[in-house]
Amino acid sequence: MIPVYGYACNQAKGPLTSYTFERREPRDHDVVIDIQYCGICHSDIHQVSDEWGGSTFPMVPGHEIAGIVSQVGTNVSNYKVGERVGVGCFVDACRKCSPCHDGLEQYCIEGCTLTYNGVERDGKTPTQGGYSNKIVVNENYVLRIPNDLPLPRAAPLMCAGITLYSPLMHWNAGPGKRVAIIGLGGLGHMGVKIAHALGAEVTILSHSLNKQEDGMRMGADRFFATSDPKIFEKLKGNYDIIINTVSVELDMNNYLNLLRLDGTMVIVGLPEKELSFGAFSLTNARRRLAGSVIGGIQETQEMLEFCNRHNIYCDIELTPIQEVNEAYQRVVNSDVKYRFVIDMKSLK
Ligand code: NAP
Ligand code: ZN
Ligand code: ZN
C-alpha cells in the first residue's frame, strides 16, 4: 500500500485536520499522481457538513485535482511519468451502461464512483479525495492538462470548468444567445468566461454590485444586483439560457420569469433545501427547467483544450492546507476571488 498524507473531516460539520491513510498499489491500468494543487469546491463544504445526507467519515474532500504522474501500472498506455494530469469528480464508473458507452459517465446508471465520499466498484472500499499528496486512479479517468495551462489555475477546471462548459454546450450558448449566470462564485466565474468565449451575450446576476468590476473583466456584457427588486421587472423575458450556480435556494419564480419564450433555466447549484416554483412561471412562456451535473471524461478533456485555446484559467487564491477551515468559511460568505486552491507543498 502507498502511505498518503492529507486533511480529513472526522464528523459532520467538524473541522478538517491532518490525516494519514493508504492508497492501493497501482494496478495494471493505474496511474499514481503526485497532487500539487486541489481546488476547494462548494460541494466539498456541502459534503463535510452532510447537507446532502449520506456523508461518510473520515472524509478527505477534493475533486479538483492537478498534479504530475509519478508512477504507472504495467499496462498504462496513455500516460508517462512526469506528465501533467488532472482528476475530477469521479474515478470510475460501471463502464457497461449506455451513458458510460456514450461518454456520459457522470450519468452512469449504477452511479459513477465519486472521487471521495464514495466507494470503489467493489461496493465497500471508501474513496478519498484530493486534499492529499497522492492519488491512484485508473488511466481512463485521468485528464491531460495542456502545457500552456498553469497547473494551479487549471485545477478547478476539473469541476467548476466542466460543470459550466457542459450545459453551455448542450443548450447551444453562442452568438445571438443571451445567457445569464446567477452567482459569481467558483462555478459562475467559469461560466462567464466560457459563455463569453462561445460568443454569447453574458449577464451576471449577483446578490450585490461588489463583484461588478471583476465580472466585466471576465467578459460579462451586463451585471445586475439581485438585491434590487426592480431588475426582475426590467429583465423579464430576456434570456435564452439561465444557469443557476447558487449554493442556496432562491425565489425561483423571479428568475424563471427572466426567460424568454422557449428559454431554459439549468440548475447546477445544489442547495441543501428543496427549490419550489409555481407552474405559471413555466407555462406562460413555454419555458424549460433543467439540471446538469459535471461532464464525462471525453467532454472534460475537450473543455481543457477549449480553455487552452481561449486562454481561460480560473481566478484563484492559493492557500496552505493548514488554513482550509478559514477558506471554507470565506466560501460560505461568498468572499472568494473566485476559487481557493490548496497548494499541496504546504503538506510537506
Ligand atoms: P461558490 O463559489 O460558493 O459560489 C456560489 C455563489 O452563489 C456565490 O459566490 C454567490 O454569488 C452566490 N450565493 C451564495 N450564497 C448566496 C445567498 N445567500 N444568496 C444569494 N446568492 C448566494 O460555490 P461553487 O463552488 O461555485 O458551487 C455552487 C453550487 O454548485 C454549490 O451548491 C455546489 O455544490 C454546486 N455544484 C454543482 C455541480 C454540478 O455538477 N451540478 C458541480 C460543482 C458544484 P454572488 O456573490 O455573485 O451572489
Ligand atoms: Zn465540485
Ligand atoms: Zn455506467
Please give the Cα distance from 339 to 327 (Å, whole number).
10
Task: List the beta strands (DSSP E) in 10-83.
Answer: 16-23, 30-39, 65-72
Q: Could you tell me the distance, in angstroms and rounded to a whole number, from the CA of residue 279 to the centre of ligand 1?
A: 25
Question: 9 with 46: CB under 8 angstroms?
Answer: no
Question: Does 245 contact ligand 1 (Cβ within 6 A)?
Answer: yes
Please give the Cα distance from 292 to 308 (Å, whole number).
23
Q: What is the mean pLDDT of residues 2-13?
A: 98
Q: What is the mean pLDDT of residues 158-166?
A: 98
Question: 201 with 179: CB under 8 angstroms?
Answer: yes
Please determine, for residue 304, whether its predicted confidence score (pLDDT) is greater than 90: yes
Q: What is the mean pLDDT of residues 98-112?
A: 98
Pocket test residue of 170, 334, 336, 338 for ligand 1, highest count of atoms within 8 A of CB: 334
Give the model confidence (pLDDT) of 120-154 as tens digits.
999 999 999 999 999 999 999 999 999 999 999 99
* Residue 284 half-sphere exposure toward CB, CA atoms < 13 A: 11
Q: Say what the pTM is.
A: 0.98
Question: Does 154 contact ligand 1 (Cβ within 6 A)?
Answer: no
- DSSP one-letter code for 81: T
CA nearest ligand 1 atom 40, residue: 293
How far, in Å, are 20, 150, 176 from residue 348 at the CA level? 13, 21, 50
Q: Could you tell me the distance, in angstroms and rounded to a whole number, from the CA of residue 49 to the centre of ligand 2?
A: 15
Give the model confidence (pLDDT) of 32-89 as tens digits.
999 999 999 999 999 999 999 999 999 999 999 999 999 999 999 999 999 999 999 9
Give the model confidence (pLDDT) of 264-274 as tens digits.
999 999 999 99
Q: Could you tell me the distance, in angstroms and rounded to a whole number, from the CA of residue 188 to the centre of ligand 1?
A: 7
